[in-house]
Every structure is written in C-alpha cells, then in structure tokens.
Amino acid sequence: MTGTINGRILAGARDLDSAARFHAINPASDDRLEPAFSEAGPQHVAEAAGLAEKAFPVFRNTPPGQRADLLDAIAEKIEALGDKLIERACQETGLPTLRLQGERARTVGQLRFLAEWIRRGGADEPRIDPALPARKPQPRPDIRLRHIGIGPVAVFGASNFPLAFSVAGGDTASALAAGCPVIVKGHPAHPGTSEFVGRAIRDAVAEAGLPAGVFSLLTGTSNTLGAALVADPRIQAVGFTGSRAGGLALGRIAAERPVPIPVYAEMSSINPVFLLPAALSDRPEALATDFVASLALGAGQFCTNPGILVAQEGAALQRFLEAAAEALRATAPATMLTPGIAAAYRQGVSSFAAHPAVRQVAVGPETAESNACRATLFATDANSFCSAPELSHEVFGACALLVRCADEDEMVGVAEALEGQLTATIHLAAADHPFARVLLPILETRAGRILANGWPTGVEVCHAMVHGGPFPATSDPRTTSVGTLSIRRFLRPVCYQGLPDALLPASLQADNPFRLARCVDGVHQPAPADA
Amino acid sequence: MTGTINGRILAGARDLDSAARFHAINPASDDRLEPAFSEAGPQHVAEAAGLAEKAFPVFRNTPPGQRADLLDAIAEKIEALGDKLIERACQETGLPTLRLQGERARTVGQLRFLAEWIRRGGADEPRIDPALPARKPQPRPDIRLRHIGIGPVAVFGASNFPLAFSVAGGDTASALAAGCPVIVKGHPAHPGTSEFVGRAIRDAVAEAGLPAGVFSLLTGTSNTLGAALVADPRIQAVGFTGSRAGGLALGRIAAERPVPIPVYAEMSSINPVFLLPAALSDRPEALATDFVASLALGAGQFCTNPGILVAQEGAALQRFLEAAAEALRATAPATMLTPGIAAAYRQGVSSFAAHPAVRQVAVGPETAESNACRATLFATDANSFCSAPELSHEVFGACALLVRCADEDEMVGVAEALEGQLTATIHLAAADHPFARVLLPILETRAGRILANGWPTGVEVCHAMVHGGPFPATSDPRTTSVGTLSIRRFLRPVCYQGLPDALLPASLQADNPFRLARCVDGVHQPAPADA
C-alpha cells in the first residue's frame, strides 16, 4: 500500500521478512526511529534477481512511450506521498524541510525529463542506413540499429541524496528509461524514506501492467548484501554513489565474475575552484561569501562540494580570507546525515589540523549537537599540496583547503597535480582570459564538468550535463550519472540487417510509428514533434 | 621512408632496434621471409607511451576537420603503396590477391568514412542547453557538452585482417578520429605488411605537422609486450581482436591497474544461422551453396564465420545436406594464415570428429599443403548441443556444426542455449514470420547483429553497423568496433557551464565555426552542409 511503511523487503510484488532487523537513527537526536526494518540478505537478492530476469524480456521491449509513462507515474506517486515523505526523510537524514522539498522537485523533474527524452527516441537512438542496391562492387543491404536495455541493473542508494540519488534517483530513472529492471540496494540510513518511494514505484509498475520484477528494493546494513547483488549472474550493470573504498570493492567483484559487468561508481571528488587574479582582485568579498555558502550548503554533504581553493598570494587573497573567515564564523553548524559521517568528518578535520603543512583559517561556531558539522577552512602552500597526496583526500562535509600559490605557474602546478574530479571551477574576469586558456586544457583532462564564475554545488538535469569524471571521481569517465546522457550507460546497440519491415522493431520501421528522432544515412532527423 | 621496410620498431618518428629478431613465415610454403624484424619489448612500450602522452594534449585539441584530413591522408598513403603492400601481405598471410585488394579498399574506405563523419560533428557530438535566466525557482546557467579523446590507446592488430583490423584498421581509425594517439601492437604474423602501413601513417602524421607520438608501431612475438602495453599508466583504453584467452588476459591486467581502463576485446563467436522451415523448404540447394561459400570464404578465418547451423529435420534438410556436401567436396582447400592457426584448426576438427554426439557430414578435398584448411561440416542433435558446452566453442576456420532439431521448440532451445555472439542469422520466407517473431527477441539478447536472408561474413562500414555483442563475443556489449559508432569507445564527455563564448571549445561556440551537427535543447540540428 502506498503511503504506509512496514519495514519489509520489496521483492517485486512480494513483501518479505527476515529475522534480522535494524532501525534508522535520527541524527539530530540520536533517537531510534520506528518501525524496525528487515535486513535484506543474499536470499532476497536471489529472489529479486530471478524476478528481474523474468521481467526483462517484457520490459525491454515496451515502446519508449510506455516506459516514459511509467517514469511519469512514478513521479506522480512520489508527489502524492506529500508531507509524510518529507517528514520521514527529515527525521532520517537531519536535512531541512526546504532542502528535501527541493530535492523531491528535482527527483520528479528528472523522471519527467528523461520520460520526455525517451518518448522522442533518446533511448533507442535509431540509425538507419538504407539499402544501396546499385552500389558497386557490391550492393549495400538495408542496415538499421537501435539500442536496447543491457539487462537487470543494481542501484546503490546514496546517503546524501535520500531522494535524488536513492531509490527513485538518477540511476534508477536512467535504468528504467533504458528498459532495464532495477534492484535498489537501499541505503540503511534512510530505510523509511526508501520504503515510501519503493512502494510508490511498485504501485506504478503494477498499474502499468508491467511484470512486478521490474523493481525491487532490498535494504540492509551488511556489505554482503551489496556484494551478493553485484555477483549475481543476472545483474548486468551497477550504479553506485558512495565512498572510494566501496566503489572499488564493487568494481573488483564485478571484474572477477565469469562474465564481467560494468560498474558505474561515483566515488570521491574535491572539486577544485581556481580564483584567477583579476576576478579575485575585482570582488574578493563577494567570492568569499558565495564560496562559504556553497561550502556549507547541506553541511557540505555534496559530491560536488568545493573542497579545494586555489589562489595567488596578495592583498586580494587577504581580503578574501578575512571575508571568508567572517562568513564561516557566522555559519550555523548543521546536522550531518549519520553519526558515522559526523565522526568521519571530525576525523578528517583533525587530520588537516594536525598536518604540519596546514593551518586553520577559520571554523564555524561551537555546538553541543553531537552530529553537527562545523564548517572549516584550512590553508596550505602549493609545494606542500603537490607533494602530500593526503591533502587531496576528500573530507566529506563542509571542509575546504586553500592552496596559496606564489604565482600563476604554481597554480598551473596545482592543476596538474590534481586527480580526476567531478568538477573544476574557475572564477575569472576579462583580464584573466589568457591565463584561463592555459588552465582550461589541463582541467578538461581532470574533470567531467568545467564551471566559470559559478559554484559546483547544484547539478542541473539537462542534456548537456556531465556528472562524472576521470578516476577516482568515478570508475568510468566515459559516462555521466545525471542528465539524458546517463541513459546510455544501460544500453547496448543491436544491428538489424536485411529484415523485412514487419519484423523490424517498431522504432526502426519505415513509417516511424513511435515518431522518434532518427539518424538516417548519417543525418540526424528530429522527432516529428520537433520538426 | 614510405614504401620500404627495414624491420625496425616505429616509436613516433624514431626507428628503434632490438637485439632479438624474428621473421615472418609464408604459410603457403613455410619459407622464412626477409627482413628480420626487431622484437619490441617493454622498453619500447615506455618510449612510445611517453611520446603518446606528450602528443595527446595537442592531438585531442585538433579541429575535427584536421583529424579528418589526417585519416584521409593515411588512406591516400596506403593506396600509394600500391602492389608491394598487397604482395607482401599475400606472402605473409597466404590470402589471395583479390581478397587483399578488397580488404585494402575497405580499409581506406573506412578511414574516409570516419573522416567524413567527424567533420560533421560525429566525434564531438556537441550538446547545447542555453541559459534560461527567467526560469523559476532558479535560473538555468548555460550548459554545453562535447566529447574529447580519452587518452592514448593501445591497438592489437589481428592476424586475420592484415589491413582492415590491423595497423590502420578499425580500432586505429576510430581512436585517431576520437583524438587519441595510438600505439599499435603489430601482429607478428604480418610484420612487413604492418611496417608498410605503419610508415604510411607516420608520414601522414608528420606531413600534418602533428606530434610524432600520435602514432607508434611495436611488433613482437612475446606476450610480455602486450602485457606491458596494457599495464602502462599512460594508456587509457585498449582495442583488441583475437582469442578469448588473449582478450581475457588483457582484461585482467587492465582491471588490476591502480586506475583501471576499458578493454574492448573482440574474442570468439560461432555466429549461428537458423534455417526456418519455409525458407529451407523453398530453396534448400541455394541455401546450401550460399552457406558453403560463406563458410569457406577466406578459409573461414572471419570473426563472423557461420559456425553453427540450426534447422529442423525433414526432407528439405536432407536436400540441403546433400547440396552442402557436394559444395564442400568441391571447395578447394585454402592456405591458412599461420602454421599455428592451421594446427589449431586441425585440432578443433579432430575434437568434433571424435565427439560421440557428432558425426561428419562432409569435408573438402585432401591436400598436400601443410597449412591448408579443408572445409568441414559436422552434425549433432539439439539435446547434445544444449548439454555439451564444448560444442559451442569456436573452431577458427571453415568448420561448421549443424544442429538438427526435431521441431521449432528445439530450435528455440538452441537459441536460448547460445552464448553471446557477434551475429545471428535467420533465413526465412513469409510463412516463417510467426516463428521469426519468437526467435528474434531471443537472438537480440545474444548477438550484436541480426541478419535476415543473408550471411554474416562481410561487415558493412556504416552508421548502423554493430560489430560487437554480449560476452564472450566481446568484453563489452555496449560498443561496436566497426562503423561510426565505434568512435564513441574512445571518447569521454566534458561539460562546460557558464563559460564565456570566447573560452568555449570551438565546437560549442555560438557561431558553430566548425559547422557541426549539434543537439540544442534536446533537438538534433543537422550540420549546415546537411541542412
């Protein structure tokens, strides 16, 4: 039943129990939340994977419009959950109501955006090379291509986006858009939020008349659950957002299968921000307050949180630092997602504080709350940053490190020393363009998204978005987990040569019954609705 | 110097020597061919990878038209080699002149086809989502996406296509099209052919004014050469065509690197052909002679060679078998590529012959030539095929196995028992359509290309081609190694948010200076030349 939760495991249409139970914790109070949740384990993986395997042949062959309708229905049912979803998510994550309302809007907006895209051919991406019977020395047969779903997909819910990167988040939306059944491994920090959303998806699947195995939700606290899911031979791809250690462990399991499968793991990123000299000199205070706002947003618990600032010494940097310190001292501590995340944050901050090459610039106010994050800014010099790899490690939360550079060459050196990132940002004025032309080619090879005069928090769901990047930001720089391009991760191309029109998939038939955008003889033809 | 060979290793612009040498063998005579070739080893990998790393920042940023010109120039220089390339390839491979002339035409045609595609935006695949400053609750920034080369690529030349899947073959063409420097591990069976083509590429790179590290050719006989190449941290992707054992070994090396990289390995495929009842009944003799022609083409040394026939018992099958046997007995034995391949073929045929569930239908004439392939057809029944995995193993060469089925259900059972394939073929008449509708969805999940009323040998280079398929046909069913879609394997997307037009890559600038096809706000806009 939508709108109520009972702590069960959702294996297709069935509610399953297990003897082992766990509870969610309210991080704002450390209180245990009811109800108890059944711990999913390998036996539930087997059940859900069997259902997904059975559902796949039907689901992958649905017209794109039917899958789009499913995504729209899921969005509608999530909205219909109303305040109780937001209230539960607040209790389980410590995130404020406004943030969660915004995240819900983004989640349903994303489902609808992908729906609209696949309705016009964005999943099929049909290509048609008509026969050339008169070609010499040999005629060309009729050759057509469409993309189909790769198979059942395992999605790991992230702790930091209980809606947008969790049960009905980007990975689930893109996998369903591709025609792949989804088994979500729900994050144990927000099992109630997960169950609300999982039941909404289940209901949408049932009302669409699709096989129940199109969706299952397995939530549990053990690593064996995730390992069993990735190892299951019926799973054909994995979407994961979380720690570097977690992503690498799943990648190893996937690579060691008799039939290896892709793991799309989004792991760690420190999202460098380069303050170019003219921009810094023009508006040091405004940059400082905007930076602190981006740093402290959501207690800094974003993959795209700006963790590294790179700037040149001088009076402007001094003004920036004074304004940033003031803003930090005025930033109220915010509850972090879990006691474990808060403890890891304190540990990360302590490591920076104890580092001989690092000094603390400013920190947010003290607090009695045990799981709160005090935003913190540290500083180091370019040589230390480039020679101490531990200074590049992500501290998940509102912690940043300023790298003070003597000159532009040192800023270039810092750019070159960076590992793979989700984002890289430059703040620049007109006079900075020549230097930006030096930095940009370096940053392009190190990040999936380059921003100018903005802040990396806030990831737009659109056609041109890349939420991805070179290792270790992700396990696969060829892909994005946000935007319409994310659907490609779960597709494979199939070619049809010489098939009679009646036997072709409808997306490739002569009269284009689904009215899709198609590429004919190498020329893109818009969907009839866009023509 | 183009047009002469000296047995050296081509590391960028430098000719390198090594103490260890090897010779090519003429498989038609077992004669040793001059000159001796230097064995490339790990030190040459380091040299070539260093050059490739240095070349990458320049090469990846070339306008697509400049890379297209390079591909065109390579094609022209290969043609300019004239008969001596074909003569050397004949000597090294035992393949006939006409076949190699055709393969050369395909090789240069492919280079030019990819060139034309990237000139119109096929590598960049630009996407533009213009800013929406009035959007509520938040404005949308300007967001743009293009694809860039992933980095230096290692390409393993295949034995069976000394031109089209070797030094300037599909993987090299698609990697260069993507803006990736290429290091080819030349196949040791045709080192002279490789060197001719390698020098042509080197000259084209030099005349284009590009860094010499854009291309290197390392040929050698040891597995350590290939292993060192895949393990080198500067290599970012691998293209391989060869054995299952070889592909899996490279995949393991790539997965165990500190930064794992993709390996696109095309490994083994038996390319099932289903003879549907009405088609078989309509034209058993024509199907039989066409089948034997496809089976024996090039001594069966094609990845897409039809190795499995599936048909229903009956009078039509009997007629088919009689005609096939007659055609086989009239098929002259053909020299295989290497003594090793010929020995493996004899071994594979012996295993089938000794199998208790298999009987020999017909075999080509005897021959005194030591490395010749006698085309052979075996038969088994559906139950045996489905329960004996060894009957699904590829025998590289002109060997096929007919699976005799009692009825359509058994044919479906055979389809379901298949591993991943490059191709699956159905021969059908109008009355077979209902049964084809049962088979097609099964075959779609098992093959990259589905053919009707044709033969899988012969792979068209076009936009809609898929030369790929589920494991073990390839290591990555999301890709193709033939056709314009092959370029995507070597690209990664990069997003640009809020950049001033002057700092955007030209492919994303407002006035579209490269005149590319672009996707604007989700609507494909053709290249101005196509509009």
Helix, strand, coil shares of chain B, percent, nearest 5, are 45, 20, 35
Annotate B176-190 with b (16+ C-beta within 10 A) or e (fewer).
bbbbbbbbbbbbbbb
* Confidence (pLDDT) at B530: 87
Catalytic residue among A103, A125, A195, A266: A266
Residue-level pLDDT at B531: 82
Rounded CA separation B495/B63 (Å): 18
Interchain proximity B454–A498, CB inside 8 Å: yes
Q: Is the pLDDT of residue B269 over 80?
A: yes
Token pair belonging to A389: 């790899």
Q: What is the mean pLDDT of residues A109-117?
A: 98
User: Quick check: helix, strand or coil at residue B369?
Assistant: coil
- ipTM associated with this complex: 0.97
Report, as an integer, the average pLDDT of A55-63.
98
Q: What CA–CA distance (Å, rounded) separates B66 from A158?
A: 43
Q: Which residues of chain A have a CB within 8 Å of the CB of B524?
A: 517, 519, 524-526
pLDDT tens track for B162-218 = 999 999 999 999 999 999 999 999 999 999 999 999 999 999 999 999 999 999 999
CB contacts of A290 in chain B (<8 Å) are: none
% pLDDT > 90, chain B: 98
Is it true that the peptide bond before B456 is cis, omega within 30 degrees of 0? no
Of B466, B495, B523, the CB nearest to A450: B495
Question: B145 to chain A: which residues are within 8 Å by CB?
Answer: 463-466, 485
pLDDT band, residue B314 (cuts 50/70/90): very high
Q: How far is A239 from chain B (nearest CA, A)?
A: 15
Chain A contact set for B422 (CB, 8 A): none
Structural contact between residues A240 and A170, judged by C-beta atoms closer than 8 angstroms: no
| A374 has a pLDDT exceeding 90 | yes
Q: How confident is the model at residue A395 (pLDDT cuts 50, 70, 90)?
A: very high
User: Is the torsion defined by CA of A229, A235, A241, A245 positive or negative?
Assistant: positive
Task: Find the closest chain A residue to B114 by CA distance.
Answer: A522
Q: What is the pLDDT of residue A325?
A: 98
pLDDT in tens, B356-402: 999 999 999 999 999 999 999 999 999 999 999 999 999 999 999 99
**Interchain contact, A262 vs B447, CB within 8 Å:** no
Q: How far is CA A190 from the centre of its chain?
A: 17
Q: Does the pLDDT at position B2 exceed 70?
A: no
Question: Which residues from chain B sit within 8 angstroms of residue A128, using beta carbons?
Answer: 464
pLDDT per position as a tens digit, B450-470: 999 999 998 999 999 999 999
Nearest CB to B259 within list A471, A499, A522:
A471
Quote the minimal CA–CA distance from A463 to chain B in Å.
Answer: 6
Contact between A452 and B499 using a beta-carbon 8 Å cutoff: yes
Confidence (pLDDT) at B126: 98
pLDDT tens digits, residue range B467-476?
999 999 999 9
* Mean pLDDT, range A66-84, rounded to an integer: 98
Query: Under a CB-based contact definition with an 8 Å cutoff, are residues A492 and A148 in contact?
Result: yes
Q: Give the pLDDT mean for B503-531.
A: 96
A434 CB contacts (<8 Å, ≥6 apart)?
none
Q: Residue A530 pLDDT > 90, yes or no?
A: no
φ, ψ at B379 (rounded to 5°): -140, 150
Q: How far off is chain B from A420, nearest CA to CA, in Å? A: 10
Tell whether the model's pLDDT for residue B1 goes beyond 60: no
Nearest residue on chain A to B425, judged by CA atoms?
A497
Please provide the average confidence, as pLDDT, over all residues in chain B: 97
Q: What is the mean pLDDT of residues B100-112?
A: 98
pLDDT, mean of residues A332-360: 97
Dist CA A155 CA A240 (whole Å): 6
- For the stretch A443-491, pLDDT in tens is 999 999 999 999 999 899 999 999 999 999 999 999 999 999 999 999 9
CA distance A114 to B130: 18
Query: A290 vs B458, which has greater pLDDT?
Result: A290
A425 with A271: CB under 8 angstroms?
A: yes
The first and second tokens of residue B332, run together, are: 């002259």
The rounded distance, in Å, linking the Cα atoms of A335 and B3 is 72
Q: State the CB neighbour count (10 A cutoff) for residue B426.
A: 26
Indicate whether A1 pLDDT > 70: no
Cβ contact A464–B128 (<8 Å): yes
Q: Do A526 and B524 touch (CB under 8 A)?
A: yes
Both tokens assigned to B364: 């080509």
Q: Is A266 a catalytic residue?
A: yes
pLDDT digits over B19-77, tens only? 999 999 999 999 999 999 999 999 999 999 999 999 999 999 999 999 999 999 999 99
What is the average pLDDT across A202-223? Answer: 97
Determine whether the interchain pair A150/B500 forms a contact, defined as Cβ–Cβ distance below 8 Å.
no
- Assess whether B369 carries a catalytic annotation: no
Q: Coil, strand, or helix at residue A211? A: coil
Considering the entire predicted model, what is its pTM?
0.97
pLDDT score of A2: 63
